[in-house]
Amino acid sequence: MTPAATDQIDEQVAGLSLYNLLDPEVLANPYPLYAKLRSEDPVHWDPFLHAWVVTRYDDVVQVLHKFQADRTPTPELLEAMGAPELSEIATVMVRQMLFMDAAAHTRIRQLASYAFTPNRIKVLRDHIQSIAERLIANIDRKGFDMIAEFAVPLPAIVTAEMLGVPAEDYRQLKDWSFTFSEMLGNFQHNPDRSDAVLAALRGMIEYFRNAIVQQKENPREGLVRSFMLAEHNGDRFSEEEIVANCILTMVGGLETTTNLIGNGVLTLLRQPELMQQLRDDPSLIPGAVEELLRFESPSQHTARLAPTDVVLGGKQIKQRQAVIAVMAAANRDPERFPEPDRVDFTRTPNRHVAFGWGAHFCFGAALARMEGQIAFELISQKLPNLRMADGAELEWRDNLGLRGLRELRVTAE
């Protein structure tokens, strides 16, 4: 191959890398990059990430369904990667259901499902409604930040209630979760942030250990207590498992639900006819939440390892190679969703993968849907004059996986 030809290929490959998300313009609108990947190289070897990037709906489903979720690096590997400080994090991750395969995953998920029943979610409904109404009532309609004043506190207060810890702790829980999620949503560890991420982890571990001790004396209804009581054929959670899965449930639920609300409101403000549809016909709300999840997926991608040597989309993937399944790209695959870049609240079917697929399908999906429905109903009904503030600038969080705005300045006068 001539040097010129090599350069051309390098340029082409570089153009398809998910690393382009580091460019703020691409981060603001990643969908053309995803479309390019889907049409030019749907199972793409990204040499910069050293991973396969999968963008077609059918392939993403296959990866989520069949590939290995157990991907926590061992302390030895972290040492070799020059990031030994992360082994403390890995110790917690190995106990979290998201990073396990059957039968370890089935065990934890089953025990957890005793703790998070449909009945418990129904009880939370009234609380969510009143928290959301209170937040809207306290808003300064002349001008406010939809993220800081609604999209952040609603899921944070609800999460505290769900866990059964004091609601007034929500700011602290949110701070830890926000810092820790820097690591969850990004491809590469940023050593400059190690201290902050580790401090957040240690804070959460201590917090949940204390919560367990307190709940032995003064039980409160919620996930911590339910995890303590969960039992299946004599099998129970260890204390370390309770702590690890409380952290996962908290971080997994907080950032994503904030971004569902923030990204969804932005879509409605950019296309006011959509907001009008919700005002005129609130029965559209459940379909709207699904469509907003599809259109601007809060969790854009996840990772797996190939379980064996396997062919996917005509490419030979080797056992244990990393594979990034881009749910946000699958959710705009025209083979699956006709006119994928159009928002249609009556889209049927709408089997998006914003909550994942298969064994790891989001554990909190029912709660997230309920929060989303309450939030969009209240916003569309109670804030009839909602619009973007003059001169408002949109800045996306530099988290490449958990897609969300830093702030969304609006007025509702």
CB of 252 to ligand HEM, least distance (A): 4
The reply on whether position 370 binds ligand HEM by CB under 6 A is no
d(C-alpha 412, C-alpha 140), whole Å:
8
CB of 302 to ligand HEM, least distance (A): 3
Kindly tell me which of 275 and 292 has the beta carbon lying closer to ligand HEM.
292
d(C-alpha 242, C-alpha 96), whole Å:
9
Using Cβ positions, the residue closest to ligand HEM within the complex turns out to be 364
Q: Candidates 190-198, 199-207, 307-315, 359-367 — which segment interacts with ligand HEM by CB under 6 A?
A: 359-367
Among residues 360, 397, 403, 409, the one that binds ligand HEM under rule CB under 6 A: 360
The reply on whether position 253 binds ligand HEM by CB under 6 A is yes
The reply on whether position 356 binds ligand HEM by CB under 6 A is yes
Please count the residues of this chain forming the interface with ligand HEM, following the rule CB under 6 A: 23
Query: Do 160 and 171 form a contact (C-beta atoms < 8 A)?
Result: no
Count of CB atoms situated within 10 Å of the CB of 149 = 18
Among residues 52, 180, 363, 376, the one that binds ligand HEM under rule CB under 6 A: 363
Q: Candidates 118-126, 192-200, 357-365, 376-384 — which segment interacts with ligand HEM by CB under 6 A?
A: 357-365
Of 147, 25, 144, give the one whose Cα is nearest residue 406: 147
Query: Do 345 and 287 form a contact (C-beta atoms < 8 A)?
Result: yes
Burial class (CB in 10 A: 0-12, 13-18, 19+), 80: exposed
What are the C-alpha distances in Å from 239 to residues 208, 245, 250?
9, 10, 17
Q: Candidates 136-144, 167-175, 296-304, 377-385 — which segment interacts with ligand HEM by CB under 6 A?
A: 296-304
Kindly tell me which of 249 and 399 has the beta carbon lying closer to ligand HEM.
249
Q: Which two tokens stand for residue 370?
A: 């309920």
What are the C-alpha distances in Å from 192 to residues 83, 185, 189, 325, 398?
11, 16, 9, 27, 15
Kindly tell me which of 98 and 156 has the beta carbon lying closer to ligand HEM.
98
The reply on whether position 252 binds ligand HEM by CB under 6 A is yes
Burial class (CB in 10 A: 0-12, 13-18, 19+), 122: exposed
Kindly tell me which of 92 and 412 has the beta carbon lying closer to ligand HEM.
92
Site for ligand HEM, residues 46 to 65, rule: CB under 6 A:
64
The reply on whether position 355 binds ligand HEM by CB under 6 A is yes
Per-state percent for the chain, helix, strand, coil, to nearest 5: 60, 10, 30
Kindly tell me which of 78 and 354 has the beta carbon lying closer to ligand HEM.
354
Among residues 30, 42, 185, 364, the one that binds ligand HEM under rule CB under 6 A: 364
Query: Do 208 and 242 form a contact (C-beta atoms < 8 A)?
Result: yes
Alpha helices in 164-271, H assignment, sequence order: 170-184, 194-217, 223-229, 239-270
Kindly tell me which of 241 and 412 has the beta carbon lying closer to ligand HEM.
241
Kindly tell me which of 86 and 251 has the beta carbon lying closer to ligand HEM.
251
The reply on whether position 97 binds ligand HEM by CB under 6 A is yes
Among residues 38, 71, 109, 352, the one that binds ligand HEM under rule CB under 6 A: 109
Query: Do 329 and 55 form a contact (C-beta atoms < 8 A)?
Result: yes
Distance of CA 327 to the CA centre of its chain: 11
Query: Do 107 and 233 form a contact (C-beta atoms < 8 A)?
Result: no
The reply on whether position 257 binds ligand HEM by CB under 6 A is yes
Task: Match 């600038």 to its residue by tokens.
Answer: 393
Kindly tell me which of 46 and 371 has the beta carbon lying closer to ligand HEM.
371
Residues of this chain that bind ligand HEM (CB under 6 A):
64, 97-98, 109, 248-249, 252-253, 256-257, 260, 298-299, 302, 354-356, 360, 362-364, 367-368
